[in-house]
Homo-oligomer: A and B are copies of this chain.
Amino acid sequence: MTAAVRKPRYERRLAGDRRQALIDATIKSLKRHGHEGLSVRRIAAEAGVSIGLINHHFPNKNTLVAESYRHFTRQLTARFQAAVLLAPPDPRARLHAFFEAVFSRPNLDPHVLTAWIVFWGLFRQSPEIRKAHDEAGRGYGELLRALLADLVEAAGTPRIDPRLTSIGLTALLDGLWLEWCLDPKNFKPDEAVSLCEAWIEGLLRTTVPATSR
């Protein structure tokens, strides 16, 4: 007669749950170990499962990574959108909330850059990753363009080129974020927000026909 209580050697899970757990483990592994974390053995260890399980739920590593990228970017933009929705309905306040969301946790984290760099490095050779990248850029860009459009409409400055404006603001945001992640002690998150606000100020002033000279 064997023992009445036996600890099972592993716990079965629904395929969907396990897939998500593997995706989460992939992101964690990339954040923690960078490019070295991009290995089925590291990912499996992070998820607490065996090596073979990955290829049971995903046809190959590349697909897992691409889906992780998709999840990663969707989560970030969803957080930005949520921050905007929580802000007062004033265009300026909503844009400010967006800035705050970009320059605070969990987005403002060197480990997030570490993961981004891995994804950037992959997208040149994997069409699947490239597709996920385009999708992410579109979501982020549309959100930012909408915020800018509202602002411009409210301010009544008609002469703004929406395309170029959003390109500039995106660059400033990404550039500041990148700079901070590469060297967090260089400046404070608040200062990054201030710089973005100053850019907006300048934008609203510039497009009104110059007052002097």
Contact = CB atoms under 8 A, between A and B. Distances in A.
A195 interface: yes
B191 A202 contact: no
A187 B175 contact: no
Nearest to A168: B195
A98 to B, nearest CB: 16
Contacts of A133: 182
Interface string A36-78: 1000000000000000000000000000000000000000000
Within the oligomer, what is the number of copies of this chain?
2
A83 interface: no
Contact of A205 (B120, B168, B179, B205): B205
A176 B167 CA distance: 8
A139 to B, nearest CB: 15
Contact of A171 (B122, B164, B179): B179
Task: Give the interface centre of A120, A171, A174, A187 by most chain B CB atoms within 10 Å.
Answer: A171
Q: What range describes how many residues of A lie at the interface?
A: 35 or more
A117 B162 CA distance: 30
A118 interface: yes
A125 B199 contact: no
Contact of A179 (B114, B170, B187): B170
Interface in A177-207: 178-179, 182-183, 186-187, 191, 194-195, 198-199, 201-203, 205-206
26 contacts: A34-B121, A34-B125, A35-B35, A35-B122, A36-B125, A120-B182, A121-B121, A164-B194, A167-B176, A168-B199, A170-B179, A171-B172, A171-B176, A171-B179, A172-B172, A172-B175, A198-B202, A199-B199, A201-B206, A202-B202, A202-B203, A202-B205, A202-B206, A205-B205, A205-B206, A211-B211
Interface of A: 34-36, 114, 117-118, 120-122, 124-125, 133, 137, 163-164, 167-168, 170-176, 178-179, 182-183, 186-187, 191, 194-195, 198-199, 201-203, 205-206, 211
